[in-house]
Amino acid sequence: MGERLSESINIGVADMTFLPEGEDIPIYLGLTKGGVTLKYEAEYHTLTSDQTGKTPLDDVGIGETVTVEFHLLDTSLEKMTSVMPTASPEKEGDHVKAVTFGRRPGLRLTHHSGKLVIHPISAGPGDLSKDVIIYRAGNKAGLELAYKLDDEWVIPCKYTGYYDDFRPEGDQLFRIGEDIQTVGEKRVVKFWITPSNPELQVSKTIDFKANAMFEDGTTQDVTKKCKWISADEEIATIRTSGDKAVASAIKSGTVVIRAEYVGYSNSTTLVVEN
């Protein structure tokens, strides 16, 4: 039986991650509000001939651009400093107590760029076929904070892609689909976590696992090698214990649980009920 049309269309929110250059662990930026818009354009110069210069002979590519626009729902001060190159954190221990703005002109955005990964939630955990990966991206957006009864704070983002000269010709700007990573001598072709979208009662715990599949078809439990993140630790926390990642339910609500491994990331939702 063929695939239903409704199953082939991706809509809705996306998970966003950002890996700064020189870092090994991606930053989970959170979920988007209002979806994500990607715009790619190739620019050409037309070669013409004859007396009027109107007859086209050929078109020569002279450049490509890609931009991604979205709004992040998580408006914590930590997230602001993660996505805004002009923001500076003021810390008290490990806690960001304030974010300040005001730099002299001359900031180079490529010095604050990194790998931006868009994962549509509707694709489901473990399916990276519709992921969008921009190899070097920098955010040029400003900040709009709504102080309204019927609105909420969001972080507007507008990432521009830059060429990555260290990648092969034809694969230097972005890709749609899986990004193969290498662990030792093996290449990772898929990464996922289980269980998917579980439910849990307050004060109870649940174990999560992370798995990697390699190009030779073998799989490995990489739970203890991952960085595990709870998007809202007031609802649930997650900590590694031996070979397990144990999530503890604190109060009712829905929270995103995420695992990050050698440039890969995957997430699921945990529903906590009374």
> Could you tell me if 233 and 132 lie in one domain?
no
**Selected residue with higher pLDDT from 30 and 230:** 230
Residue 263's domain comprises 180-274
Last residue within a domain, chosen from 159, 179, 199? 179
* Mean per-residue pLDDT, 221-238: 92
d(CA 183, CA 264): 11
Structure tokens at 22: 């020189």
Domain match, 153 and 225 both: no
Same domain, 71 and 105: yes
Nearest-CA neighbor of 206 among 177, 239, 181?
Answer: 239
Q: Does 193 lie in the same domain as 145?
A: no
Supply 4's token pair: 């239903």
In total, how many domains does the chain have?
Answer: 2
- Residues 213, 225: contact at Cβ < 8 Å? no
Q: Provide DSSP, 116-170.
A: EEEEEGGG-TT--TT-EEEEEEEE---------TT----EEEEEEE---TTSPTT
Do 140 and 252 have their domain in common? no
- What φ, ψ does residue 77 adopt, rounded to 5°? -65, -35
pLDDT at 98: 93
List C-alpha distances in Å: 23 to 10, 143, 163: 30, 25, 18
72-115 pLDDT tens trace: 876 778 888 888 899 999 988 878 899 999 988 899 999 999 99
Q: Return the pLDDT at 201.
A: 94
Ramachandran sector of residue 124 (left: φ over 0; alpha: ψ -120 to 50; beta: rest) = left
Strand-pair partners of 28? 17
Q: Please check whether residues 41 and 169 belong to one and the same domain.
A: yes
155 vs 47: CA distance, rounded Å: 43
- Answer with the one of 127, 151, 179 that is the final residue of a domain: 179
Rounded CA gap, 270 and 234, in Å? 13
Of 160, 169, 65, the residue nearest 114 (C-alpha): 160
pLDDT for 32 equals 83
| Mean pLDDT for all residues in the chain | 84
**Are 10 and 111 contained in the same domain?**
yes
For 231, the token pair is 């998007």
Task: Work out the pLDDT band at 234, boundaries 50, 70, 90.
Answer: very high
CB 230 within 8 A of CB 248: no
The answer on 232 and 206 residing in a single domain is: yes
Shared domain check, 132 and 79: yes
At 169-196, the pLDDT tens digits run: 888 899 998 776 666 667 777 888 999 8
Listed residues 132, 152, 179: the one ending a domain: 179
Q: Are residues 158 and 23 in the same domain?
A: yes
> Any idea what the CATH number is for the domain that residue 196 is in?
2.60.40.1080
Torsion angle, alpha carbons of 128, 124, 192, 175, to 10? 10
Q: State yes or no: pLDDT of 61 exceeds 90.
A: yes
Preceding peptide of 195 cis, ω within 30° = yes
Of all residues in the chain, what percent carry a pLDDT higher than 70?
89
Domain shared by 104 and 235, yes or no: no
CA angle 37, 39, 42 (to 5 degrees): 170
Q: Are residues 262 and 126 in the same domain?
A: no
Question: Where does the pLDDT of residue 31 fall: very low under 50, low under 70, confident under 90, or very high at 90 and above?
Answer: confident
